[in-house]
Amino acid sequence: MNELRTLVEALIKGELKRANKKFPLFHSDHEAVAIIEEEMREASVDANVLSHNFDNFKEAVFDDYSISDKRECIENIEQFARELACESIQIAAMAQKWKMSHITQDEIKKFSCEKPSYLNDLDEVMKKWEDKYE
């Protein structure tokens, strides 16, 4: 499980880097709430579909459905488990993005960079962020 957690952390960092290159840091807490809420809704939908497909699989097993019916349920379980994992990674990345958006002036000074550099050079900030929080 530790190895899996390490891989997930790497995926979260990758998603954070991708998101930061595409979109700036959060301008407000309200923006963060809106983005995280959207990802949470998507994860909730995937979790509900996953649960429904598990119920279908359980019924197929207990009622002795055909192997093809069981396989279809399992394929859906696999698909929506992956989707849920992706949404969860995005949620964790957006939580980290919120933390990055709230680095204090003292923390910026520790990084030895000025506020404009922090806002304009995400690669530099990401590197310093990773060094501090790894």
Residues 35-76: tens digit of each pLDDT: 999 999 999 999 999 999 999 999 999 999 999 999 999 999
Query: What pLDDT score does 70 carry?
Result: 97
Q: Are 50 and 77 in contact (CB under 8 A)?
A: yes
Residues 75-122: tens digit of each pLDDT: 999 999 999 999 999 999 999 999 988 876 566 656 554 444 444 455
Query: What pLDDT score does 126 carry?
Result: 64
Q: pTM, whole model, 2 decimals?
A: 0.77
Query: What pLDDT score does 24 carry?
Result: 87
Residues 3-16: tens digit of each pLDDT: 888 899 999 999 99
- Domain edges within the chain: 2-102
Largest CA distance in the chain: 66
pLDDT category of residue 33 using cuts at 50, 70 and 90: very high
Query: What pLDDT score does 118 carry?
Result: 42
Residue 20 to residue 127: CA distance in whole angstroms: 13
DSSP 3-state of 33: helix
